[in-house]
Structure 1
Amino acid sequence: MGTHLITGAGSGIGEAVAEQLSKRGEDIWLIARNAGRAAALRQRFPGARTLIGDLADPAKLSWAFGQQEMPVEVDSLLHIAGVVQLGEIGDLGVKTWQEQLNVNLLAPAEVTRLMLPSIRLVKGHVLFVNSGAGLRAGAQWGPYAASKFGLRALADSLREEEHANGVRVTTVYPGRTATAMQLKVHQQEGKDYDPARWIDPASVATAILTALDLPRDAEITEITVRPGQ
């Protein structure tokens, strides 16, 4: 049984991962934006512990975590939270870019920095849920793709830096997954949304746990998950 710190556990892939780990009897810590969301997560996952920190304001995470009890040892840090706002580069202002870069890239970098001592203690695992947009940028996906390309670079650099410390680093690239974010994307694209066409979040969660459960003689560095239909 291990200790796992998860962002984005309120819905979608993060919720599915938290559910699977909870069913296995693992200790889970869930990062929430505020006290209200933290209480809702504890109700959804009895026995879970929460940390309050706003990923949209990564500069304040160090202070926020410093005011709370923290896990001493972290077997896995799972970066699953994310935001998206589509639009053409010629129409998007700095605020739209900053929000996506903060949540999707800068917050994972800062949370990783803050938790690395606890991860190194047990030769733990850092896992980033990226996106197909982290491999290829399409029209109207500029800021989101930029944040995800950066997240890939963060993971690759971290893997090189922490290999000697026994820390494993994995990036997961899901295709379109039936989540609340995907519904928002379809609305922005002006398309009808049929969740049955896309990956079940539980399937991505299974891929994530496969990487975590791999014996220590090997490391899954990247996983690409695509809709099966």
Structure 2
Amino acid sequence: MTLITGAAGGIGAALARALAGTHDLILQGRDEGRLSALCSEVGGARPLVLDLTRPGTFGEAVAGLGRVTNVVHNAGVVELGAVAEQPPEVWTHTLAVNVVAPAALTRVLLPTVRAERGTLVFVNSGAGLRANPGWASYAASKFALRALADALRDEEAPHGVRVSTVYPGRTATPMQQKVRAQEGGEYDPADFIDPATVAATIRFVLDAPRDATLPDVSVRPGPRGA
């Protein structure tokens, strides 16, 4: 089974469609209706309604999932703002969803992922490589997510678990639409990477032969007119 967090839209939904038919899927989200519709669309995937801000509930929620081979940590939140302006609540929520939740969910799933010699994929961001003005809280969470993946990679190598980080550039998703609104700019999906392209990259990471690990993969927009 492959578990995808944040599966109800954007990159997560595109990945569910990309893996349908080749991977048995568990799709996590908070909107039960949207999850159920996507599960039906991709052919019998299993919904997992889970609030990522409540890590204390993770153990019970995943106890009945059975064999989980792969986990794609895709869920994330963003709220732009200068350090001088953002209240602690924004920082706390951003770090909770973008860092604490992946760490906590990984911890409870590691026994089965180890048994399956599976793969953990952390969907990061260009902001996990460089912090720009107005992006401090989000970039801090993504830098921390990179640190989590890097440490975990070496910790789990003896167990046969592969750990990869994928760094998408700006992608045509509802999150990007929100970001553009916060930046005061227009949103045209054609200006950004197609979510299906990022999904295809993640699928390549998951399906790579066992004699290779892809620690860090960046996905950037192609040249105009390509």
TM-score normalised over the length of structure 2: 0.94
- Percent sequence identity over matched residues? 52
Kept in 1, the 8 Å contact 2:120–2:164? The answer is: yes
Q: 2:53 matched to 1:59? A: no
Pairwise mapping of residues 63-74 of structure 1 onto structure 2 (< 5 A)?
63-66=60-63, 69-70=64-65, 72-74=66-68
Alignment gaps of 5+ in structure 2: none
User: Once the 2 structures are TM-superposed, how far is the Cα of residue 194 of structure 1 from its aligned partner?
Assistant: 1.4
- Taking only aligned residues, the RMSD between alpha carbons, in angstroms, comes to 1.4
* 3-state SS, counterpart of residue 91 of structure 1: coil
* Cross-structure match for 1:216: 210
Counterpart of 1:203 (choices 185, 197, 206) is 197
1:54-100 per-position Cα deviation (integer Å, ceiling 9, x unaligned): 0122233234445xx21x22221001111100001111111111111
**Counterpart code for 2:16:** A
* C-alpha distance in structure 2 between counterparts of 1:65 and 1:5, whole Å: 10
Letter in 2 for 1:92: Q
- 1:179-198 map, 5 Å: 179-198=173-192
Give the CA deviation at 1:40: 3.6
Q: Confirm whether residue 162 of structure 1 aligns to residue 153 of structure 2.
A: no
- With over 3 angstroms needed to count, the CA separation of the structure-2 counterparts of 1:65 and 1:210, relative to structure 1, is closer
Conserved? CA contact 2:8–2:31, under 8 Å:
no
Unpaired stretches in structure 1, ≥5 consecutive residues: none
Query: In the alignment, which residue of structure 2 is the partner of 1:29?
Result: 26
Matched letter for residue 166 of structure 1: G
Match of 2:75 in 1: 81
Cα distance in structure 1, aligned partners of 2:110 and 2:31: 23
- Do the aligned partners of 2:8 and 2:28 also contact (CA within 8 Å) in 1? no
CA distance in 2, matches of 1:215, 1:65: 27
The change in CA–CA distance for 1:34 and 1:201 in structure 2 (over 3 A counts) is closer
Q: Which residue of 2 aligns with 1:99?
A: 93
1:124 matched to 2:118? The reply is yes
User: CA separation in 1, counterparts of 2:39 and 2:53?
Assistant: 21
Equivalent position of 1:108 in the other structure: 102
How far apart in 1 are the matches of 2:174 and 2:30? 17
Q: How many residue pairs get matched?
A: 223
* Matched residue type, 2:43: P
